[in-house]
């Protein structure tokens, strides 16, 4: 091989490597700013980012411990990938049974424990018809009457799940959806929203606190 041809190949490889590192650094920085507008909501918080993944935030909001976890859902059978936000309130619940309310189940909700819960619970009249309730122990899960006053929350088509366990409760919300052009043509996952909305996060955390108060006020069965 001629030296000039080898030099071109080496330059091309180095150029591609540089582009890869640059794009990866940009991706990490962009995702790392996801919670940037929301930090003032917390009395204290800690944000940890692993490489190019979205960061995880642990913080105190109105004296309560929360964990916020963005999760990229890019399963191959989904047309457009989603960015789910898990909002977990870490606080004891006076019921030993788990309650999971999953909206519009399609299978493949890897971020949900619904498939691991063995008991299906009948939906009461007036509850969303496109939902399912599952539990590991229906006799000792929180009463559905505690959840009913909060059903308007689930009229939002982006609200996906409410999970209540003895250690706390979690809401799952579709924070964003990938840009159709990037994914359909380039198979790249790009989300239009760079930062989480302060109003949205406050609404979700307040909803978690209100549901927890309703469940806790009934006491242990």
Which pLDDT belongs to residue 84? Answer: 95
| pLDDT tens column, 155-185 | 999 999 999 999 999 999 999 886 554 444 4
Which pLDDT belongs to residue 186? Answer: 43
Which pLDDT belongs to residue 3? Answer: 61
In whole angstroms, give the CA distance from residue 147 to residue 121.
Answer: 14
Q: Cβ contacts of residue 4 below 8 Å, gap of 6+?
A: none
- Phi and psi dihedrals of 72, rounded to 5? -85, 125
For residue 103, give the nearest of 164, 176, 143, 162 by alpha carbon.
162
| pLDDT tens column, 33-69 | 999 999 999 999 999 998 778 999 999 999 999 999 9
| pLDDT tens column, 71-99 | 988 664 556 788 999 999 999 999 999 99
Which pLDDT belongs to residue 161? Answer: 98
Q: Cβ contacts of residue 179 below 8 Å, gap of 6+?
A: 190, 191, 192
CB 218 within 8 A of CB 146: yes
Q: Which of 117-126, 180-189, 204-213 has the lowest mean pLDDT?
A: 180-189
For the chain, give every domain's residue range: 33-217
pLDDT band at 8 (very low <50, low <70, confident <90, very high): low
Check residue 187 and give left, alpha or beta (phi > 0: left; psi -120 to 50: alpha). left
Which pLDDT belongs to residue 194? Answer: 75
In whole angstroms, give the CA distance from residue 55 to residue 68.
Answer: 9
Check residue 198 and give left, alpha or beta (phi > 0: left; psi -120 to 50: alpha). alpha
């Amino acid at each position: 091989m001629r030296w000039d041809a080898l030099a071109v190949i080496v330059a091309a490889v180095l150029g591609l490597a540089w582009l890869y590192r640059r794009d990866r650094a940009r991706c990490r920085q962009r995702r790392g700013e996801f919670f940037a507008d929301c930090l003032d909501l917390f009395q204290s918080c800690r944000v940890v980012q692993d490489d190019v993944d979205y960061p995880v935030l642990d913080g105190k909001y109105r004296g309560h411990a929360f964990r916020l976890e963005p999760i990229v859902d890019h399963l191959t059978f989904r047309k457009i990938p989603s960015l789910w936000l898990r909002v977990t309130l870490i606080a004891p619940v006076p019921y030993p049974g788990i309650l999971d309310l999953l909206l519009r189940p399609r299978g493949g909700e890897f971020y949900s424990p619904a498939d691991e819960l063995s008991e299906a619970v009948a939906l009461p009249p007036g509850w969303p018809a496109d939902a399912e309730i599952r539990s590991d122990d229906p006799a000792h899960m929180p009463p559905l009457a505690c959840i009913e006053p909060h059903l308007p929350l689930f009229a939002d088509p982006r609200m996906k799940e409410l999970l209540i366990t003895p250690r706390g409760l979690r809401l799952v919300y579709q924070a964003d959806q990938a840009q159709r052009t990037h994914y359909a043509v380039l198979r790249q996952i790009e989300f239009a929203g760079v930062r989480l909305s302060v109003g949205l996060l406050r609404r979700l955390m307040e909803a978690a606190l209100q549901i927890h108060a309703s469940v806790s006020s009934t006491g242990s069965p």
